Structures are given as C-alpha cells and as structure tokens.
Structure 1
Amino acid sequence: MDPMKEMEKLVADLNNYNYHYYTLDEPLVDDQDYDAQYDRLLQLEQESGIVLPDSPTQRVGGELLKGFTPHRHLAPLWSLDKAQNLEKLSSWHTRARKLIGDYNEKNPDQPLPEPAYAVELKFDGLTLNLTYENGRLVQASTRGNGVVGEGILEQVKTIRSVPLSIPFTDGKIEVQGEGIMHLSVLEAYNAAAIDKDKLKNARNAAAGALRNLDPRTTAKRKLNAYFYNIGYAEDVRFENQQDMMQFLRDNHFRVNPAVSYFDNFDDVIARLEEIQQERNTLDYLIDGAVVKLTDMRTREVLGYTDKFPRWAIAYKFEAEETSTILESVSWNVGRTGKITPLARVEAVELAGVTVQNCTLNNIGDIERKNLKFALGTRVYIRRSNDVIPEILGKVSEENDGEEIIFPEQCPACGFPLEQRGAHLFCNNRFGCEPQIVARITHFASRDAMDIETFSIKTATQLHNELNVREPADLYTLQFDDLSKLERFGERKANNLLQAIEDSKTRDLASFLYALGIPNTGKTTTRMLAEHYRDLDKIRTATVEALVELPDVGSIVAESIVEFFADPFMQAGIDKMLNLGVQPQVPEAPAVAIREDSYFNGKTVVLTGTLQTMTRDEAALRLEQLGAKVTGSVSKKTDIVIAGEKAGSKLTKAQELGLEVIEDEEQLKRLLELE
C-alpha cells in the first residue's frame, strides 16, 4: 500500500477505535492490536516526516509552550444565572412562562410551544470551547471573559475523548463542554505520586493541567471531557435541545448520559432532588444542575440579559468545597496519646453549616499538603457526609504564610513527644490527663460498657477529685466519695453506682471494645468474642492464630497481641475481674433459620446508612440467616449492602465486581422481613 494511504487508513482506524473506547465505552480491538497499529503509524510518520492533522500520535503532548495565545470566540460564551434554592428556581420558571405568554398573545399566528425542559449535570471542571473547520479541530480555548479566551489546543489534544476530526465538514462550528478529571483517576494519580506532586482536588487538577504550558503534564493527568452545546455553527439549525445533542453524538462528541427531558416542571424539581442524592456516587465533581428550555425558537424569542440567557438557569447545590483563611492550629491529645492538629479557620458557610474548625489529621498531612507555611493564607476546605471538614491544601503554591510550629512536648502534660510515622505521640499514659479522661469516657460509652449518665465531664471530675486514673478504678468508687462531689448529691451518686454495677455483666464483645485495643473496632471485637468465646483465650492468642480470622491482618493481629502483653493493661483487666466484672460469653451461634436463605454461607459487608433498620439489626438478621458479617471489603467478600452515603467500601466493591445491594426493599425481602 502507498505509505500516505496507509497512514490515512491507520489514522482513520485508530481514531475510530479511540471514539469507541473513550466516548462510547465499547472497545473494538484489544490493546495489543491497537498498540501494533499505533506503532506502525508512528514508524511511517518518522520515515516520511509527515504527520496528518488528526493523527492520534499528537495526543501525547509536545514541547513546552511559550505562552497562551488569545482566542476570540466565534460566538459569546454566556454565563448562567444561578438559583440557590427552589424559590429562585420557581421565580425563573414563572418569568420564562410569562415571557412566552406575552409573545404568544402578540403573535397568535406563530405561537411558541408549551415549555419543555432539559436537565443537565453542571460539571465542576474547566469550560472548553473547541473550533472545528471543515471537520478538523483547529483551535481549543478556555472560556476567558466569554468573548476572548486562552488558546489551549495542544493541551486539549491530549484528551482522548476529544475528536481530532468529525464527520461534519461543512464550515465552522464551535462546541462547548467541560474538561474534567475523574475522581478514580485522581485517586490513582495521587497513589503513584510522591507527596509534593499529589493533587489537591479534581477540579483544580483539571484546570491546572489544561492551563499548563507543558502539554506533557496535561497528558499525564488523563483528563476527560463532556460536551453539551453548539455555540456557533454555519448553516446548521436545530429544532430543539434533543436535536443538538444528537448532532453532538453523531459527530463523535462524548455526551453525558444523565441528560433528562421533561414536559412538567414538577418533574424537573424531582430530578434535581435525585441528582443531589446521587451526587456523592458519581466519579466526577458536579456543583449543581442546569435547567434549559428545549425549544430553539423559544430561546431566540426570550434572548439574553446583559449577562445571562433567559432560557436557562444553573441550580446550585450546597457547596462541598470552598476556600477560607487558616487562622491557627491547636494540638489535641487522644486516648492513645496521639497528638492531632485542629485547624481554626475564618468562619465560612459550607454545605449548609458555618465552619470554623477543620481536621488536619497529623504532621505528615500538614507537610504533604504544603501547609507548613500556611497560617494567615487562604486554603481549600471540603465537607462531606456530615463530618468535620478537612483542609485540602493551600490556594497559593508559595510559602507565603506564617509557619505552623510542630510541638516537641505534649501540650497537656509537657512530656517529650515521640514521632511514629506521620503522627506525634505522648507516651505519658499514667500522667497525661486528656489520655486518662478519654480512656475512661470511651470505656463507659454506649457501645462499650454502657454506663448510663456517664460523660466526659463526669470522667474529668472523677479524675481530678477522686484520682480515678484508669477504667478499673470506676469499680472501686464508694457512695461517700461520690455524694460529696459538686453537682452530685445522693440521687446522682446512687444512679452512677448502680450503672457501674450493671456494667459488670456486659457481653464480652462490648468489654473488648471498651478496652480500646488499637486498630480494632466493634466488628473486630465482636468477631473475637464469637470465635474464642473466652476472655483468657483471647488474651493468650498468638499473631499466627489471629491472622487466620476474618478481617484480621498482620497489623491488627500484632496490635491485639501487644495490647494484652502490656503489663499495665494486664493489671487493669485483672483488677476489674477481681472487682466483679464478668464479661458474658455470647451464646453459641444460631443455626440459620433457613439453610436455603439467600445469605447462608456468604460473607457480607454493610456500609452506609439504612433507613428502615440499623446496621446492627441488619447484621444480626444476616447472621441468623447464616451469613458471616465482616467490616472490610476484599476478594473474599460475596455481597456488599450499601445504604445512603456509602463511601469507599462501595467503590471498592464496584472495582472488584462484587454483588452490591442498594435497594432497601430488595434487602428486606432477602432478609425475609416482608
């Protein structure tokens, strides 16, 4: 074959493979076949010195660019008016209907149709405006000020879902979309990167890559893009939004499948609520949804204000990320002696609440996120799943703030700190008040020994005034001691003593959890209790024996053995047993109610929040039906039951291709509760 014709065929075939793989998710050939054809094209290009304009070899990123070239858009890129609540959204809808009604009253011979609506996801990335001339991609730019943007053609070429050529070859068109980085891609990128190169979030990763003068950096981030609008087209007319979206699909642009169409505005509102609930399950960031009138003639009639189209509006969800000023960092001591930094930030509204405190995890986290010199500077924060927000990193890359000073002595007791990995620890277990109070409070908590009316204030008072230094000391308390305390009195003293007495016969799993064994939680302690059914056997278990149990790896096994080998812990447990504490051994595991039940013999993980039952209730029912309930997802897991706000466990289950039950009605039927 003539080399030029062979190159043309290879380019056409490879671009078709890319389209099916990256846009349609329907691979046509395996990687080996693709690589062979790609290598052959590369060889022909090198031999001939010719590279066709839409060759896929141009996607890898070329030389460092000197700067961005301004690009004037063929048609303006409009901003969207924003609705932060349903009231403002309804006001927009009322105005649009009024404008349509006014027009129809004046033009009865050519009335506009009843409004119909499109609802699209509002991506949180970087707006792209692509220019095609006679079917070839000739320019790509940022939005800029809506009239002039920055030319980023070489960067955009690295996005494999962006077609370098399209079937439409009749003149110029401009296509708008959003460049994004998938969250799974961000996670994989950060897992492979060294600390200083880790990316803060998907939005900034995408924007930073596309505005990076080195296209090779863009290529490494494996961006994607979704397209949603034709801003300019010569001699092309669309009847409605559906026609335009089909035009995009026909021309090999990636269109998000979540676009929905409705004739009734109430259905629009219902869809917005669905999107908000689905938001945390998506593999990309969105900050809202866009509602548009679908009819193109209606759009022309309604037109634009100075800033916004009257026929569309962005419905903004509550922010999960924002920025604010990092004001100070304090250091808190936990029950294990771990020193945890807590950031105080300038108050800011985020996800419906006012945020002033943020977690920083440890000193390693501070260094990894380039926050060592961040006091007084602006930082990104994120809040999700109703937990305390975390600081993601500095807005600026410069060390332009005051230094966060890492403590060398315990902030509570002054004891020298020890660094273990990324954490600082105070080893003064017997003389550090926050550690002592936290251990006693945890011991008495509801999921542990369940000592009613007990609180951290009670633990602090007992420590300071009655020298209670460990959980075992609770069982030595006397009425005369308690009744003399401030805010106690006879009734409160008797109630506390009775609650302490009642706790002596708590079940073995709760007792083990109350001890606070490092790296174990309720699932692990319950499994230990049910497997060994004897406290002495657990205290003498070996690492080799423990790692054979479900959910117990080498780190957890070593933590358990080291805990029970600690003379301080041994003495405390012995003291409690001598004072009458008798952890109750669980009854023998019940035989499955029905051996042919769906869950019999299967390993099941529960995650997220169930609406019609607690997870403990679901776990008990699963065990009655012969299931083994564990706390972590692995290849050994058979089923993952995912409630609302299921997080990393659901993601891992999907990656492993495990069976996932998300429908709670289906779960109730399988649990034989209906």
Structure 2
Amino acid sequence: MTEPLDRMRSLVAELNLYGRQYYTQDSPTVSDKEYDALYDELAALERETGTTLPDSPTRRVGGEILKGFEPHRHLARLWSLDKAQNADDLAAWEQRVKKLIADFNAKNPERPLPDPEYVVELKYDGLTLNLTYRDGELVQASTRGNGTVGEGILAQVRTIRSVPLTVPFANGTFEVQGEGYMRLSVLEKYNETAAEPLKNARNAAAGALRNLDPRTTASRKLDAFFYNVGFLEGDVRLTNHRQMMDFLRENHFPVNPYLRYFADFSELTEELAAIADRRHTLDYLIDGAVVKITDFATREALGYTDKFPRWAIAFKFEAEETTTVLESVSWEVGRTGKITPLARVEPVELAGVTVQNCTLNNIGDIERKNLTRALGTRVFIRRSNDVIPEILGKADDSEVGGEIVYPTVCPGCGSPLEMRGAHLFCNNRLGCKPQVVGRITHFASRDCMDIETFSGKTAEQLYEELNVHDPADLYGLAADDLVKLERFGEKKASNLLASIEKSKTRDLAAFLNALGIPNTGKATAKTLADHYGDLDRLMAADAEELIALPDVGGIVAESIASFFRDPLVQESIARMRAAGVRAEADRPAAEAADAGHPLFGKTVVLTGTLTTMTRDEAAKRLEALGAKVSGSVSKKTDLVIAGESAGSKLTKARDLGVAVLEDEEELARLLGL
C-alpha cells in the first residue's frame, strides 16, 4: 500500500500546484491534456486503494444531492458595510474617521493612533462565502446569512477549484471571508450549450451555491476572491491589512491583484472614479469599491455601530443606463395602503441583469419626468446604485405616447383612493386584501415576530378561509380550524401554532418593527425599545418627546405618535397582549439591575465557544446584571470570559493582565443559574 500512497501524495501535490497556478495565479505551466492525464492516474489509484487524501482534487467533484442546508454559526460576526452613494457621502465618512481618531488620541496621548491610511478593494457582486479551516483543513463553508448564522454549503464550495481544501497554516482554527462569483466569459460559454440559459452572472453564482445538488454547482465553474480573515487563533497576530493579505496569499487563497493603498484621500477619490470607468473591462461583476482603514489598532478603536464597522465604507458606483420601451403601468397596493405604479418595460440587459420592471415611485414622479403620455415610447432606465431599476424619463421628450391612466379606486378592493401629497392611498385598512395580507406577512417575518414557515401565501389563505384580517387574529387560531384548510395537515398546523406561541416572547424591538409603524424600520424600532424599555411608556409619548431621540425627525416622530393614537392600533395591541404577547424589552433597564452584584458596571468581553449557552445568551444575561458587554479587549476591560477555542482576545487579555474566567460552573454561579 505504501508505494501507491506515495504516488498519490505526489500526484495530489503536483495537481494542486498546477491548480493554483491556473485558478489563483492565472499562469498555467501545463496543458489541459497533461493535467487531465495526471488527474486520471490519481482517480484510478484512489479506486484501486479505496483511499482519497484530504486535499485530493477529486474531492471537488459534486456528490449526492443534499436533503437541506444546515445552519452554521460563524466564529466571528460578518458585518454589513455602510454605503456612500456619492463623493459627498464619502467625504463625510472621512471626516467622521478623522474626528474619531482625534478624539481617541486626545484621550489616550500615551498610545496615539497613526494618521489614517486607506486601502481600496473592489466590491464584488456574487455571494459572500465564509470558510472555516481547522488544523489546516477546510471543515465548513457557509453563506453570510444574518451575519451571525449562515447556511452550510461545504459540498458546494468544494467544487470551486480556486478554493484551497488544505492550507499551510495548521496551528488552530480560522475563518476567512470572500465572494463566490461566475466569470462573464464562463457565463457566456455556459449559455452556448445550456438547455436553460442563465440570465446573469450574479444570480448564476448565488443560485449555484445555494443549490442542494453540488453537481449543479460544479457545472457553473465558479471562482472566488478572498479579502478578510474574520477569526484567527494561534500564535499569528495580524496588525494591519497588508499582513492579512499576505496571510491569505501564503495560504493559497485567491486574492484579487487589485489592491491600492492611499494616505491622500483626494487621490483615493480619483482612483474610485477610474475604477468605475474601467469596470466594463473586467471579466466579473462589481457594483462598487470598498474603502477601509489599514491599521487594525485604529479599526479596534473606531469600533462598530449596531450594523456597520466605522472603519470601512462601500462606495456605490453610479448606475449604468440604457434605453428601452415602456410597455405598460400597473398599480400595486402596499401594506400601508400606498398605491405604487410599477412600469413594465421591454426586457433589456443592464449591469449584468435582465430588467423587465421598473418603479415609478408615485404620481408626482410620473409627472415630473414627463411620462404622463409615455406608453409605447422609448425611455431611459437606470439601475439606481446597481440595484433598483428606475425610469429617468423619455429618450425623446417630444415623442407622445399612450396615456398612463391614474386609478380612482383601489385595484385591490375597489375603495375610493385618497391623494396625500404625491401619493395615492387606500383607506380601507381592514377590508383591502393586499394591505391585510402584506401587514400580516410583514408581522410574521424573520426580523419581526419570526413565525417560522409563515409566508405570503399562508397569510392569503388565512385571510380568505379563516377571516384573519389583523395580526392579532393569528393568536386566536385553533388546530381544528387549520387542519380543515387545503395543504394543512395536523403536523403543519401543529408547527404553525407552536411557532405562533413562541413568537409571544419576542422582544419589544422586534414587536415594534412587526407593527409596521409608518416611516420607521428595524433601526428606529430598536432605538424606541432601548430608550423606553416599556410599551406603555412609548404609547403615551407625544411627538415633542419623540423628536428628542437620536435619528428621529419631525415626520417620524409624528408618525409614531399618531400611530399609537389610532383606536384600531390600540385595540389590536390590547388583543395581542391579552393573548400573551409580552412585547417586553430585550433586557431589563439598567436601573433594574442590582448595583451590589460583582458584575454591575463592569466591562466584559466574551470569547470562544461556551458549552452551556450561546454567547448571545450569555451577553443578554450579563447586560441584565448591569454589565457592559464589549467586542474587544483593552486596558479598560474588567473581565474576559473564555470558552473553548478562545483565540486572540484571550491572549491579549493575558498580555494586558485582564482577569480571565474559564470555569463555566463559576460563570453559571455569577449569572445566577
């Protein structure tokens, strides 16, 4: 057996080298025929010996169809990026960064941060990948998901030949982030023989990676670029972006050759314009560029908002434009009763996507753009920030087409419409099916009450067959009623009722988001929940009080106050609370904590994996005791709680002499468990 295994190891090393040269370095040294001959020899030896080495290229071939995607909890959070839509937004971000650095240096003269240096990277338009390596071997791959938990797609990612299955760094666990994408040339070649051509490279990559059949993924011949190390344990300490890129290259990850560093922000701004001008020459889609601070100590000092790192920003390119024919306009009813015009255009390719529908926003938008008589005429369209298609106006303003007829009654229920400013509204809140179905669907969605398996079709069926016209009606559903519905067996009914019951414990921020208060969203709901901590206090607040809150302007304040004055809203909330919906703050207010508790007022950092609870659960319990949970270790940290596989934070805590708690029994005692 030794001789065949030695030959197999030699072949694997040789083939992986040729693979890196071809897929990662773009400099092949052997022909396809030579590579295939070596590959076939290796495959024959594997069949003969019944052995496949961990890093064998044959492991990339798609295997059996999977039954479903398993959730994967990331070792470190994958953050979203704040967006700069134009040069003014970018300049404002730079000023914020400089101010934060100046403020930090004023408070910490003994360890000042350096002058900011920036790195510019391309912003790829594919699917985010999060890869986990343990002791040098790829052990998991997942999608971004909600930033904390994604879907495991290891079998699919193994088919990407530029992704290393093993790496030289074998001293622990680390996670890297990158983007899976399909080259435009590969898409074009694929479509030449495909029974069903793919519409665009973006959807081709995302669809392939989220396909339960890895053979489908393999057939798309995807690629990947990597740009971040999100988690790293062991004796390697990265202090800046250059070192991180070197780490990725040394471990055979494909890194885009485009990386530019700038100390002068005006030069950086000029470079962004140059990237936008030459993006059409690339063999892959990008929808912008990413600007980051290079120094990691500065990144740590600047920290994060609830959503974004303060040390990075995505610069969105001006959208590409083209012309097409405006074919028709329909009118859609939203959950708030707003009637929105939807334009149907002659299908056209724009920024790698086939566009058929465009929003017209409202009647004011139609009239401002001289589109009242534009049916059948050629119009300019733009994918605003490369995402939302919009009509800019007629290609020839003198051309007269068919008239866009404004509705006088609701297309959903036939009720008379009311004009409010530039918008049409249907006021039949309880009897307009699209409104009711939209509100209930929103109420049940993941960021709201998180009622699992609930969909728009479920809401529509409950509306039509069980007279569910308000979110509060969900809490009165009975199993006997549900099992009589089409496609509802006992198990489905039981699962739905269990999920509805579970939703009663959702926190106040989620409940406020679920209510769908006009002119507010998830962030505002959290602001309200954090400030008031009690639903009754919020419902009693007037606009003058609300406007004093951060990021709450006059229009939003009046929307919130008038929403809670509405008798129908008050009745709905009362019914839900009577049914057991708690709508309580996620954690007790700080004043409710025991000031005598040893953790009260302490800054605590969690690291590693806890065996008795998740880190989120531990964080909530700590905050309930009056502790402040931080994401980074510094001299101001009072305690680091270290679970299994704790990494650099534990090392830093010991270097700084910060107290460390590794005994989970002692932790449970402190938390009162």
Output the TM-score relative to the length of structure 2.
0.50
Q: Which protein is bigger by CA-based radius of gyration?
A: 1
